[in-house]
């Protein structure tokens, strides 16, 4: 069973998919079941990986880490995603090593709270 907004990765080709609608069955890529990405829990890496949400009136910003994360070809943030607590609002920004900073600025009139997550190409999925 897959759940809406779950992330899966192919460990052969590197494809990453997000579930749009929940369903039965397994997600398969390159002939093998895809890995369900779990939120990382690496002690010591939080300062550069855990998303930080800043709220200024109607504008919100998500920064990856309390200290800037490197953005190099070998090590970078692939995307930042914000999801409303009711899972009805999703905003995603794709990043490349050429981006100077891993940051997403957005406006949201969400009635509920928001959560953020990001995917590091080396250290996996992180959330606040």
SS3 for 25-46 is CCCEECCEECEECCECCCCCCH
Q: Strand, helix or coil at 114?
A: strand
The tokens for 3 are: 């759940």
Q: Strand, helix or coil at 20?
A: coil
Q: Which fold has domain 46-127?
A: Immunoglobulin-like (2.60.40)
> What pLDDT does residue 107 have?
86
The tokens for 71 are: 């953005």
Mean of the pLDDT values across residues 17-38?
A: 96
Phi, psi of 47 (to 5 degrees): -60, -25
> What pLDDT does residue 56 have?
83
Give 15 or 111, the one with higher predicted confidence: 15
Check if CATH label 2.20.28.100 holds for domain 7-36.
yes
Give 111 or 58, the one with higher predicted confidence: 58
Q: Strand, helix or coil at 1?
A: coil
Other Cβ atoms within 10 Å of 113 Cβ, number: 9
What is the edge-to-edge ordering of all strands in the sheet holding 16-18?
16-18, 7-9, 35-36
Q: Mean pLDDT over all residues of the chain?
A: 92
Task: For residue 37, give the nearest of 79, 100, 70 by alpha carbon.
Answer: 79
> What pLDDT does residue 111 have?
67
Q: What is the pLDDT of residues 32-84, one digit of tens each?
A: 999 999 998 777 778 889 999 998 877 899 999 888 899 999 999 999 999 99
> What pLDDT does residue 45 have?
77
CB of 48 closer than 8 Å to CB of 67: yes
Model confidence at 109, pLDDT cuts 50, 70, 90, reads confident
Domain ranges for the chain, please list them.
7-36, 46-127
Model confidence at 101, pLDDT cuts 50, 70, 90, reads very high
Task: For residue 29, give the nearest of 50, 51, 14 by alpha carbon.
Answer: 14
Q: Do domains 7-36 and 46-127 have the same CATH topology?
A: no
pTM confidence score: 0.90
């Amino acid at each position: 069973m897959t759940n809406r907004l779950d992330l899966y990765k192919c460990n052969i080709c590197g494809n990453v998919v997000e579930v749009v609608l929940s369903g039965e069955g397994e997600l398969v890529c390159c002939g093998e079941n895809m890995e369900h990405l779990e939120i990382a829990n690496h002690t010591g890496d939080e300062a550069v990986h855990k998303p930080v949400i800043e709220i200024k009136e109607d504008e919100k910003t998500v920064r990856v880490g309390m200290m800037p994360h490197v953005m190099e070809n070998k090590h970078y943030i692939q995307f930042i995603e914000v999801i409303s607590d009711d899972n009805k609002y999703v905003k995603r920004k794709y990043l490349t090593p050429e981006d100077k900073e891993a940051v997403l600025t957005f406006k949201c009139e969400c009635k509920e709270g928001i959560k953020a997550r990001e995917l590091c190409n080396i250290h996996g999925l992180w959330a606040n």
